[in-house]
Amino acid sequence: MRNETKTLALAVAMGLSLAGTTATAAGPATTPITPGQQLRGEITSADLLNWRDGTRSELFGVALKADQGVRFVVEGPLRAQLSLYLDGQLLRTSSAESETATLAVRASRAGRYVLAVSGSDASAYGPFTLASSELQVYGGGELASGASITDWLDGSKRIPLRIDREGMYSVRMASDEFDTVLGLEGNGLSLGSDDADGSNSQLTARLVPGTYTLVASGYEGQAGGQYELSVAERELPAGVTVASDGDLVAGNDVTALYQGQPVTYRLRLAERQLVAIDMRSPELDSRLQLTGEGVLIDDDDGGERLDARIATVLGAGDYAVRASAFNVQGGAGLFTLAARLSPVPADAGGGRLEVGQAREATLLPGMTDRYSFNVARAGTYLIEMASNDGVDAHLRLLRAGEPLAEDDDGGGGFDSRIAHTLEAGDYVLEASSATGGEGGRYRVQVQRR
């Protein structure tokens, strides 16, 4: 029995792959690979088994010099995970959130490293291609246009940038290991970005000759791991200039370069209209604010992804559309601003609301219905919004553009109720959905207690 136990323990130890255990002193058998080389392989049931989670692995050996940088990428049908070891100690693993297994490393010292290509789970089998390439590791010093570096971050880092000629430049910071934040300072600019695609950041700005500072960090100070930083001249689309105040005309989209400073556009309506305003950008966390005629609406992510969208019914008059960024330090990049007008549906909400008279209306998906009402006598008033049609009611009360009160579920269930002492005068009431998406029938009223 003792011999059987010892035999079983030995078999388990030999079967454990490096994806979940420490290597033996003698080291496992590996297939050699050198930076720049590409090899094919396949995970099968005959490969090393990790007895903890059932995954299988193939092992590769790579000799690296101190501070040498290399990137490994696995492509093919296999859903893969990469793990790097030195002297039996796990150093790094690829991100589980990325569709393609990628691992960029900088050797802390010279040695022979072991790279494990494993299935992402116990059911992951199949062929794969392992590609390796050398990385240009940042050794300090000044960057210039055309530079592309790989570095490792623990906290934040300030990197000098030299610009020799005036022009449009794009600076990009990318990482699969943490949520990047990129800043640019100097020559009167202070720009920042933490939104490009995924966890990456990008700044597009017009720069004059001189010295700047790039600030590489992570979201909320959480930065740890490899990142890439590149600087390149960028040619803007024909007709695109730095954003400035102007007019917004329905049907005439405005595309411009945002440089960290909010810009304001005037929108003029000749009659009551259903209005949709969109601010779209792959480089900014867009933000919109609409004011005028007693209206105050602010939106950050009402559109797709990080785009901003305001959709509402507006009366005739002049309005100000303020386009900005929600990013740290103001953000910088291209954006498109668009306004669309359409007739107001017959049963749509909004318009004049009389105290003491209930109003039934239909809330359109994604819309905010805006009512104006007059209080003749000061006192305490009860404002209610209720729906039997799936609308999670939300109310906001304003006077002269300043919010006074708001409520989500104060009326019980998904209904809203505001009890507030009001002075004589004019007020605006906004009725919407708390979740933003659904529409439906609802009832709204203002009555004196």
Residue 313: both structure tokens together: 């019914």
Choose the final residue of a domain: 135, 153, 168.
135
Q: What is the mean pLDDT of residues 424-445?
A: 90
83-115 residue pLDDT tens: 999 999 999 898 887 788 988 888 989 999 999
Which domain range does residue 393 map to?
351-448
- Say what the pLDDT of residue 327 is: 64
Residue where one domain finishes, among candidates 342, 376, 398? 342
| CA dist list (Å): 175 to 104, 184, 223, 225, 304 | 10, 18, 10, 8, 23
| Residues 191 and 269 both lie in one domain | no
Same domain, 277 and 310: yes
Give yes or no for a contact between 261 and 205, defined as CB atoms under 8 angstroms apart: no
Q: What is the C-alpha to C-alpha distance for residues 69 and 59, in angstroms, rounded to an integer?
A: 19
pLDDT tens-place string over residues 182-198: 999 999 989 988 766 66
Q: pLDDT at position 27, please?
A: 64
The pLDDT confidence band at residue 284, using thresholds 50, 70 and 90, is confident
Compute CA distances 303 → 6, 18, 107, 138, 193, whole Å.
Answer: 63, 45, 43, 38, 19
Q: Are 361 and 313 in contact (CB under 8 A)?
A: no
Residue from 170, 165, 208 nearest 189 by CA: 208
pLDDT reading at 253 higher than 90: yes
Please state, in angstroms and rounded to a whole number, the distance separating the CA atoms of residues 31 and 131: 13
Domain contains 240: no
In this predicted model, what pLDDT tens digit does every residue of 397-406 receive, in sequence order? 999 888 999 9
Based on the fold, state whether residues 314 and 283 are members of the same structural domain. Answer: yes
The answer on 128 and 40 residing in a single domain is yes
- Convert the pLDDT of each residue in 309-367 to its tens digit: 998 888 899 999 999 988 655 678 899 999 999 998 888 898 899 999 999 999 988 88
According to the model, what pLDDT value does residue 23 have?
41
Helix (H) or strand (E) holding 6: helix 2-15
Give the chain's mean pLDDT.
Answer: 88
* pLDDT at res. 15: 40
Say if 238 falls within a structural domain.
Answer: no
305 Cβ contact list (under 8 Å, min separation 6): none
Domain check: are 290 and 402 in the same one? no
Q: What pLDDT sits at residue 127?
A: 96
User: Does residue 131 share a domain with residue 147?
Assistant: no
Instruction: Please state the domain count of the chain.
Output: 4
Distance CA 143, CA 145 (A): 7
- The verdict on 253 and 374 lying in the same domain is no
- Segment 200-220 shows an average pLDDT of 92
Are residues 312 and 365 part of one domain? no
CA distance 110 to 68: 8
Residues in the chain, total: 449
User: Over the stretch 17-54, which tens digit does the pLDDT of each residue have?
Assistant: 444 444 444 567 899 999 999 999 999 999 989 998 99
Can you give the pLDDT at residue 444?
A: 98
Q: Please check whether residue 127 lies inside any domain of the structure.
A: yes
Provide DSSP, 194-225: --SSTT-EEEEEEE-SEEEEEEEEEGGG--EE
Residue type, 309: R
pLDDT at 256 over 80: yes
Residue 154, sorted as left (phi over 0), alpha (psi -120 to 50) or beta, turns out to be beta
Q: Is residue 79 part of a domain?
A: yes
User: How many beta carbons lie within 10 A of that of residue 211, not counting itself?
Assistant: 11
Q: Residue 80: inside a domain, yes or no?
A: yes
pLDDT in tens, 107-145: 989 999 999 999 999 999 999 999 999 887 888 899 999
- Is 157 part of a structural domain of the chain? yes
For the residues 159-178, what does the mean pLDDT come to? 92
283 and 330 inside one domain: yes
Share of the chain above pLDDT 70, in %: 92
**Residues 131 and 8 grouped into a single domain:** yes
Q: Nearest Cα to 33, choosing from 153, 114, 137?
A: 114
Question: Looking at the domain assignment, is residue 124 inside a domain?
Answer: yes
DSSP 52-109: TT--EEEEEEEEE-TT-EEEEEEESSS-EEEEEEETTEEEEE--TTSSSEEEEEE-SS
- Does residue 9 sit in the same domain as residue 129? yes
> What is the domain-level CATH number for residue 337?
2.60.120.380
State yes or no: pLDDT of 380 exceeds 50: yes
Q: Which of 190, 206, 233 represents a domain boundary (last residue)? A: 233
**What is the pLDDT at residue 85?**
96
3-state helix, strand, coil in the chain (%, to 5): 5, 55, 40
Q: Is there a contact between 337 and 254 (Cβ–Cβ < 8 Å)? A: yes
**pLDDT tier for residue 254 given thresholds of 50, 70 and 90:** very high
The pLDDT value given to residue 329:
59
In this structure, what are the phi and psi dihedrals at residue 8, rounded to the nearest 5 degrees?
-65, -45
Q: How far is CA 201 from the centre of its chain?
A: 9
Positive or negative torsion for Cα 92, 95, 100, 105:
negative
Q: How many of the other CB atoms lie within 10 Å of CB of 140?
A: 8
Q: Spell out the residues 6+ positions from residue 123 whose beta carbon is closer than 8 angstroms to its own.
A: none
Does residue 241 belong to any structural domain of this protein?
no
**Within this chain, do residues 268 and 221 fall inside the same structural domain, yes or no?**
no
The confidence band for 291, taking pLDDT boundaries of 50, 70 and 90, is very high
Contact by Cβ (8 Å): 174, 200: yes
Q: Count CB atoms within 10 A of the CB of residue 38.
A: 12
283: pLDDT strictly greater than 90: no
Which helix (H) or strand (E) segment holds residue 442: the answer is: strand 440-448
